[in-house]
Amino acid sequence: MKRLFRPYLSIFFIGSFLVTATSCGDDEPAEPEFPQEEIASARLVLEPEGKGALATVNYGPNNQNPGALLKANTTYNGVLTLYDAEGNDITSEIAQEGDKHEVFYNPSSGLGITVEKTDDDSKGNPIGLETTLMTTNAGTGTLNVILKHQADKGASDPNKGETDLTMPINVVIQ
């Protein structure tokens, strides 16, 4: 009788060992390597080259639909400033972590705007906190300013990463 149970006991112990070895793992979810920034508000200042008035766009809890009036056929130098919930300027922190952040400027269809990013991270990739914005023909539409947190930034891709800020700007070009 003892010989009859020996193979079964061996199989039982080996099976138990395999189940135990494969089920013991770290069930805790991994913390993200770089947490998202807490951005509560932003300001985009557009200064026309040559003469003209500044266009300042403020976005935050009390201003979710900001607007900008721009001149047609004009080049603007843009600076985006970011603030936390206490109103502290955190732009330099984002710039220091530029290899993990990028700002994307997406004009709505038919809006005569092109944007070139003029600042780079430590690897030579664009960040987008500083820009050159060019208008063409008169028109209206929306310019969506989106800050992405991308742990592995690499090539510019607006579909990668977590969104830290979405700032829609209603634009009128005259």
Domain assignment present for residue 1? The answer is no
Is residue 110 over pLDDT 70?
Answer: yes
Mean pLDDT of the chain: 85
Domain assignment present for residue 28? The answer is no
Q: How many domains does the chain fold into?
A: 1
- CA-to-CA distance for 94 and 138, rounded, in angstroms? 33
- CA-to-CA distance for 105 and 99, rounded, in angstroms? 18
pTM, two decimal places: 0.78
- CA-to-CA distance for 101 and 128, rounded, in angstroms? 9
Is residue 22 over pLDDT 80?
Answer: no
| Lowest mean pLDDT segment, chosen from 18-27, 83-92, 107-116, 154-163 | 18-27
Domain assignment present for residue 22? The answer is no
**Residue 130 belongs to domain spanning:** 41-173
Domain assignment present for residue 19? The answer is no
Domain assignment present for residue 49? The answer is yes
CATH number for the domain that contains residue 137: 2.60.40
Task: Give the Cα-Cα-Cα angle 73, 75, 81 (nearest 5 degrees).
Answer: 135
Tokens of 165: 């800020």
Would you state the pLDDT for residue 31? Answer: 46
Domain assignment present for residue 26? The answer is no
Q: Count of alpha carbons within 13 Å of 139, Cβ hemisphere only?
A: 14
